[in-house]
Amino acid sequence: MPVLSPTSSPSSSSLVFTCFFIILFVTINSSNPVAITTKAKRPPRQLSVNYYAKSCPQVEQLVGSITSQQFKETPVSAPATIRLFFHDCFVEVMQIIFNYLSVLTSACMQAHGCDASILIATQPGSKILAEKDAADNRDLRTEGFDTITRAKALVESKCPGIVSCADILAIAARDFIHLAGGPYYVVKKGRWDGKISMASRVPNNLPHANSTVDQLIKLFSSKGLTIQDLVVLSGAHTIGFAHCKNFVDRLYNYKGTKQADPAIDPRLLKALKMSCPQVGGNADIVAPFDVTTPFVFDHAYYANLQSKLGLLASDEGLFLDPRTKPLVQSFGLDKAKFFLAFSAAMEKMGSIGVKRGRRHGEKRKACSIHM
């Protein structure tokens, strides 16, 4: 089964060429638009809290039974699944929208986003790698994938062919946030699963450990997210871990200086160096993002940044930049404010590039296999 499409398997370059041709056609004719008559269509169904109220009313309880069990047995499932949701939502392909000639441009509007494309496995023998096999996703822990696989199997046994993998992932991420001590917020549902999963689209769509605040703001803005959303969603680093390779340069050769990053507390620097030597270390060693309460979803992450206890350069940079520093300080003082803002930002992020209807999406029976 192809990774790209159930009906065809065009290359990335052919898709880009097709879209370029359409853009050129529209540009040439922009001063004299072509009249196209189409039948009136109903607007796409919006995401809704009650989307499965009639078709699968017990979906949240079913997913919740899996997430609660996973949290007890393997607590790392929490940050693993939350990170999986972030990585799924942030990776988009191309989204070209015109106010007219929409019939011609519809083929170019397929974008990733919150569509569970991160869960699709690369097909044996395929030359096109799926998202999960991109270099930036190879450190995603199996516990996150296992949680969704188990939840999907249970939901399918009760409501076959009804609930998308994308909605299950969104619900599971919310569950784990709450189980770890974070806010409980309602999850709007109605996402369809994406038909495209391409590793080549990942690198430019995810934040990196050494991203500057300028780069982060630009990336988040491209997803329709604000500077506050950036700071708020970064607060998910209140739980979880990172491998040494993501911050080792801060310890020994920050920005090519052959010195440690001066924005690291000396005690943290010493501890990290003991775990992460400059060369020859264990590639499996990890360190917590939040060194004070690594297993609790709280607002300690922001206090840590103010004390030079941020693990990644991209995290600590939020306190050093005047555009984001006031937000770090504000959330560090008020957990309730952070929780409220985080809930709103998760709903906003969870709406990025959602698919609706069979024309743009599908309902996979197994989340790793594109139909």
Query: Could you state, in order of their start, the residue ranges of all structural domains in the chain?
Result: 58-97+109-240+289-350
Q: Map residue 355 onto helix, strand or coil.
A: strand
What's the Cα-to-Cα distance from 324 to each of 58, 213, 265, 304, rounded to whole Å? 41, 8, 20, 15
Q: Which of 87, 112, 299, 370 is catalytic?
A: 87
pTM of the model: 0.84
Distance CA 185, CA 174 (A): 7
237 appears as a binding residue in the annotation: yes
Residue 192, pLDDT score = 94
Residues in the chain: 371
Residue 111, pLDDT score = 52
The CATH label, of 2.60.40.10, 1.10.520.10, 3.30.70.1050, 3.40.50.2300, for the domain at 58-97+109-240+289-350 is: 1.10.520.10
Residue 357, pLDDT score = 80
243 is catalytic: no
Give every residue of the chain whose pLDDT is below 70, as ranges.
1-45, 93-112, 371
Q: What are the structure tokens assigned to 132, written together? A: 């999960």
43 appears as a binding residue in the annotation: no
288 appears as a binding residue in the annotation: no
Residue 1, pLDDT score = 43
139 appears as a binding residue in the annotation: no
Angle (CA) 259-264-270 rounded to 5° is 75
Residue 112, pLDDT score = 64
Picking from 223, 244, 245, 242, the residue whose alpha carbon sits closest to that of residue 233 is 223
131 appears as a binding residue in the annotation: yes
Residue 370, pLDDT score = 81
pLDDT tens-place string over residues 159-204 = 999 999 999 999 999 999 999 999 999 999 999 999 889 999 898 8
Query: Cβ neighbours of residue 38 under 8 Å, at least 6 residues apart?
Result: 103
